[in-house]
Amino acid sequence: MRNVDVCVVGGGLLGTATALFAARRGLSVLLLEERDLASGASGAAFGGVSVGIYSFSAARVPDAYVALSKASLALYAQLQDELGAPMDFARPGSLDPFYEPRELQSRKDRVAGLAACGVDCRLLDRKEVQAVEPAVSDLVEGATYCPADAHVTPPAVTWAWAAAAKRLGAEILTGVPVRRILREGTKVVGVQTDAGRISAGWVVNVAGAGAESLALTAGVRLPVAYSRGQMFVTDRMPRFLNTYIHNIKQTASGTVVLGATRESGVRDTATSVQGAREILGWARRLLPFLDRARVVRSWAGVRMVPPDGYPIIGSVEGLERFVHALMHRGVTLAPIVGRLLVELITEGRTALDIHPYRMSRFATATASDLGDVKETFYASG
């Protein structure tokens, strides 16, 4: 029977980040992915790595959460330097537009809160927005602008981290579904696959869309809602965007990626006419230059959203040798979460406080009574 220090279940951004940090610590790592790397949300996500953009209706973002995002962005930059180009890491800054004067106050509060956390984020009026981004129309009332925000191509990042982890001795197996988490009493001891059992010192559940059902095999009820995001991409266009907008970016090859819908409870990855009308309709009012483009393809991913919108990170009370993580800002937070999970494994504690993200904060919530998570978010555009 195979025996490893750490068995990571899930081959997306979270899984490959965890595998990379574990391998760096000299642990023996096996990552198991049921399909191919980045075949879930990590293969569909927009790719924003942002300290300034949050989809919460409440103005003030908790300082700790801002700190988490900041640390993650810094870690991206560091990994980019250490691993080289393949992450498609660009740092053009982000714009988060708003369209009604009545949104101004909450944006001011948001910016003040971010500033207090040391984030360079400014509130721009329409003219200032158009100075930064001339292609933006008068539809905007204003925007928050974070010049240091970044974006990546999530699947490219996933593959880059996987390659780096493998170079350090991690083993990554795709096409291997994990059927159950194996326990002996309160101790997790490994996983069961179709090809046999894996014995592991620790098991990490970062299986994304499969995390909920996998958790159940260990008796863990992960409270999570799902939300589909439809995305669209154009053919190559002459360069006209300087920053990226929440959520529109122009890639290095000149194509424009647009997203994303927020369809509560939808778990398939089909795209729809209604999604096209919503996203493309908004985008062309915001950026009239897009009328010169053609749409080449659409796709969709499913977000995993814990009930209050904040991540679930850490261990589970009453269960040993097990950690998990689930969130919908997985692109931004993947590096820091990967490192935090490995700190938990190797040291039993983390450099940043993850207490706010414990699953037990949902003590009364089970998978079945999540309510409408959509309330917590404001619609994008």
Partner 1 sequence: MQTFDVAVIGGGPAGMAAALEASGSGARVAVLDEYGRMGGQFFKRAAGDFRLQPAQLSAEHASGERLRAQVAEKGIEVLTNTLVWGVFEDRLLMLYREGRSIALRPRALIIATGAYDRPVAFPGWTLPGVMTAGGAQTIARTQWVKPGQRVVIAGAGPFAMPVAQQVARSGAEIVAIVEATRPSEWLPHAGALWGQWPRFREAFNYWRSLRGVPVAFGHKIVRAIGEGCVEAAEIAAVDKTWHAAAGSHRRLEADAIALAYGFLPNVEIAEACGCELAWDPFGSAWFVRCDERMATSVSGVFAAGEITGIAGSAVAMAEGRLAGIGAARFVGAIDAAEAERRRRGPAGERSRLMRFADALNRLFGPRPGLWEGMEDATTVCRCEEVTAGDIRSCVRAGCASVKGIKDWTRAGMGPCQGRVCRSLVSELLSRESGVALREVQRARIRPPFKPVPFDAMAQSEAAEAPQ
Partner 2 sequence: MPRADAGLRTPGIERGAAFAIEVDGRPLRAHAGETVLGVLWGAGMRSLRLTALKGEPRGFLCGMGTCFDCLVTVDDRLNVRACLEPVRPGMRILTRQGHADL
Q: Which residues bind partner 1 (CB under 8 A)?
A: 35-39, 43, 155-156, 158-159, 162-163, 166, 172, 174-175, 234-235, 253, 270-274, 276-277, 280-281, 283-284, 290-299
Residue number with CB closer to partner 2 (252 or 273)? 252
Given the DSSP bridges, would you call strands 29-33 and 2-9 parallel, antiparallel or unpaired?
Answer: parallel
- The minimum distance between CB 149 and partner 2, in angstroms, equals 26
Please report, as residue ranges, which positions from 212 to 271 form the binding site for partner 2 (by CB under 8 A). 235-238, 253-254
The contacts of residue 209 (CB under 8 Å, 6+ apart) are 40, 41, 226, 267, 302, 304
* Binding partner selected for residue 254 from partner 1, partner 2, none, CB under the kind-specific 5 to 8 Å limit: partner 2
Residue 279: CB minimum distance to partner 1, A: 8
Q: Phi and psi at residue 9, in whole multiples of 5°? A: -105, 115
Angle of CA points 289, 91, 141, to nearest 5°:
45
Question: For residues 40 and 243, is the Cβ–Cβ distance under 8 A?
Answer: no
Report yes or no: 175 and 34 within 8 Å, Cβ to Cβ: yes
- From first CA to last CA, the distance across the chain in angstroms is 52
Beta carbon nearer to partner 1, 268 or 347: 268
Token pair of 56 as six digits: 């919460």
| Least distance between partner 1 and beta carbon 37 (Å) | 6
Q: Which is nearer to partner 2, 59 or 237 (CB)?
A: 237
Q: Of 157, 158, 148, 160, whose CA–CA distance to 70 is shortest? A: 148
CA atoms within 13 A on the CB side of 336: 28
- 136 near 287, Cβ under 8 Å? yes
Kindly state the smallest distance separating residue 242's Cβ from partner 1, in Å: 20
Q: Which two tokens stand for residue 149?
A: 């925000």
Could you tell which of partner 1, partner 2, none binds residue 271, using a CB distance below 5 to 8 A set by kind? partner 1
Based on CB atoms, which residue is closest to partner 2, 90 or 114? 90
85 binds, among partner 1, partner 2, none (CB under 5 to 8 A by kind): none
Q: Which of residues 312-331 bind partner 2 (CB under 8 A)?
A: none
- Footprint on residues 285-304 left by partner 2 (CB under 8 A): 292, 294
- Binding residues (CB under 8 A) for partner 2: these are 235-238, 253-254, 292, 294
